Amino acid sequence: MRLAHLRRSDSAQIHLAVIEGSEAVLVSDLLSPAPASLQELIQGGDDALDQVRQALADGDAPRHPLEGYAFASAVLGPPVVLAVGLNYAAHSSELGLKTDTAPTVFTLWPNSLTGHESTTAWPRALSESVDYEAELGVLIGTAAKDVTADDALDHVWGYTVVNDITARDIQFSEAQWSRCKSFDGFTPTGPFVVTADEVPDPQDLHIWTVVDGHTVQDASTGQMVRPVSTLIAHLSQSLTLQPGTLISTGSPGGAGYSRDPQIFLRDHSTVTVGIDGIGELTTHCRITG
């Protein structure tokens, strides 16, 4: 099942919807009372998801053309967004950084979350070295504490696409990476969240990025240094991963910083990051000042 947060162009209200092809079914048309967000649906556990599936199967709810809606962030109000750095050897090497014996983990701030086809803007005075990073996003479904790698995927609710936009000059001038990756709109997610049953193997997915019509990243999630199961097991040793937690699992090689000449996101750039079977996430860029 595919889900998204949608809003009409004439309203700020956000609707949780099931996506079927080019049509949306509002969850509020399926259930009453209905979960208002994906976070509420996840917190409702298997029973809540089963109710949505059953109501959808009944086939009575109206279908709405997707063209009548805009996308909000596929992930809204998560308990935390945990990002993993240096999880592809090619990306670590191109940045001149070493993949350590333990994962590099940092948080992304909630103001950075935004949706498909949104415009992300930043001041020229803050950075002119803004980069793209295609990443697989993993959403936790049931609380995970001290889980093993063998059991870790049982705690996954679903998957999404993340663009971990990064101000490289700030990244290399500060000891921590949260600020350089958490400008407003620097963490687009979506367009969809795909339930875990739709992704049999998260390490067998084609992941890619296109900037202004040029393919700049083209890889497989199988190239991760630490697979999704290992990341969940490692993180769960030190904290309980709460339902709705988003884990962004790192980016493959091909970052703009490492290219000769370098490729950074410019005023009016368009960047699309995608993962086959999950979705294509487009962001429009504006530089102000």
For the segment 44-55, what is each residue's pLDDT rounded down to a tens digit? 999 999 999 999
- Residue 60's pLDDT is 87
pLDDT at 99: 66
Please write the tens of the pLDDT for every residue from 72-107.
999 999 999 999 998 988 666 667 666 667 889 999
What pLDDT was estimated at residue 91?
Answer: 62
Residue 178 one-letter amino acid: S
CB atoms within 10 A of CB 6: 22
Count CB-CB contacts under 10 A for residue 33.
7
Count of helices and strands (H, E) across the chain: 7, 19
pLDDT by residue, tens only, the chain of 289 residues: 999 999 998 888 999 999 999 999 999 999 999 999 999 999 999 999 999 999 999 988 999 999 989 999 999 999 999 999 989 886 666 676 666 678 899 999 999 999 999 999 999 999 999 999 999 999 999 999 999 999 999 999 999 999 999 999 999 999 999 999 999 999 999 999 999 999 999 999 999 999 999 999 999 999 999 999 999 999 999 999 999 999 999 999 999 998 999 999 999 999 999 999 999 999 999 999 8
Q: What is the pLDDT of residue 225?
A: 94
Enumerate the H helices of 112-247 as residue ranges. Answer: 149-152, 168-171, 228-236
* Predicted local confidence at residue 89, as pLDDT: 81
Rg (CA), the chain: 18
Domains of the chain (ranges, CATH numbers): 2-71 (2.30.30.230), 81-288 (3.90.850.10)
Reference 164, options 140, 139, 189; nearest CA is 189
User: For strand 187-195 and strand 113-114, is the pairing parallel, antiparallel, or unpaired?
Assistant: parallel
Exposure of 40 by Cβ count < 10 A (0-12 exposed, 13-18 middle, 19+ buried)? middle
Q: What are the CA-CA distances from residue 270 to residues 210, 229, 284, 285 (Å)?
A: 8, 32, 5, 6
69-71 and 2-8 strand pairing: antiparallel
Asked if 271 and 210 count as a contact pair (C-beta separation under 8 A), the reply is yes
Q: Give the whole-angstrom CA distance, residue 101 versus residue 240.
A: 22
Using alpha carbons, select from 78, 253, 272 the residue that is nearest to residue 161: 272
Distance of alpha carbon 25 from alpha carbon 2, whole angstroms: 11
| Predicted local distance difference test score (pLDDT) of residue 103 | 87
Burial class (CB in 10 A: 0-12, 13-18, 19+), 261: exposed
Are 24 and 4 within 8 A, CB to CB?
yes
Query: Residue 100: what pLDDT?
Result: 66
Residue pair 29/65 in contact (Cβ under 8 Å)? The answer is no
Which of 193, 195, 190, 165 lies closest to 180, judged by CA? Answer: 165
